[in-house]
Amino acid sequence: MTYEQFYGLSENPFGVTPDPRFFFSSRSHQDALAYLRYTLGERKGFAVVTGEVGVGKTTVVRRFVETLNGGVDLAVVLNPKLSFKQLLATIARELGSSVKGKNKADLLLDLKDFLVDARRRDRSVVLIVDEAQNLPASSLEEIRMLSNLEMESSKLLQIAFVGQPELSQMLNLTSLRQLRQRIPGICTIRPLSQEEVEQYVRTRLEKAGWQGRPEFVKEAFEETFRYSGGIPRLINFVCDRSLLLGFVEEAGLVDGRLVRAAVRDLEGIQEVVT
């Protein structure tokens, strides 16, 4: 028997894989989603979303992608440690184009033709680069050149950079000042407040079929916030472990003692891994 079965849950409420179904609308996450919708939807050219590891950037992006209608061609780059030519080839494959035997100039020309044709058909083309802080500075600068592709008053390619806080530092480099000037603003996703942590936990439990068992007491939320600092990924870790310990003890509630025991387990595991 699993703890999900023991507590009558339909699935694991605290999985660490980003899942738009479990999207939690904190104020910061709502702002990031609205920012992406406006910046890319209005064809402003560039959007940049930053945040600490585990704060929910990828979940927000996936939620945004879910809201796109059929009039959008989407390319998502998950491994940006690429040269500009490799990046162009990845974009081409994502958009369904052939890359075999093509050099950088061919890939650029094909992309331009694709973008012009998409605009004629009233379609938008969106490029999302996740973990963008890993992009070489040279590739970032060349991506700026892609933003020169425009028609009338709007950009042909909408680009979203998503990354850790180091991305903001990179974009402030003198060598990238022309790129930074093209970005209308940087949206930073912040950790959850203590009140939002409680809402987050309850929301995920309810989406997994929670009927009030186990009961989470106030001290459990306080300890969860103390350990996680409001980072959703850490909240998931500690709540998942707390439910497992509750199952082992056949506990009907999760209290501060159980959460502290879960934290000790997690820290012990981290020490072993390190």
Residue carrying structure tokens 């079929």? 209
Domains of the chain, each with CATH number or no CATH: 3-9+192-273 (1.10.8.60), 27-188 (3.40.50.300)
The pLDDT, as a whole number, for residue 270 is: 47
Residue written as token pair 């890359």:
99
Task: Report the alpha-carbon distance of residue 273 to residue 112 in Å, rounded.
Answer: 47
Is the CB of residue 189 less than 8 Å from the CB of residue 29?
yes
For residue range 95-141, list pLDDT tens digits in order.
998 888 899 999 999 999 999 899 888 888 999 999 999 988 888 88
Residue 133: CB atoms within 10 A of its CB come to: 18
Got the DSSP string for 63-114? HHHHH--TTEEEEEES-----HHHHHHHHHHHTT---TT--HHHHHHHHHHH
Considering the entire predicted model, what is its pTM?
Answer: 0.85
Backbone angles phi, psi at 185, to 5 degrees: 170, 155
If you average pLDDT over every residue of the chain, what do you get?
A: 89
Do 162 and 58 contact (CB within 8 A), yes or no? yes
Q: What is the pLDDT of residue 30?
A: 93
Distance of CA 67 to the CA centre of its chain: 14
Single out the residue of 110, 128, 117 nearest to residue 40, CA to CA.
128
Shortest CA distance to 50 belongs to which of 212, 198, 167, 169?
167
Strand order in the sheet with 46-50: 72-77, 124-129, 157-163, 46-50, 186-188
pLDDT at position 50 over 90: yes
Amino acid 233: pLDDT = 94
C-alpha to C-alpha distance for 75 and 237, rounded to whole angstroms: 31
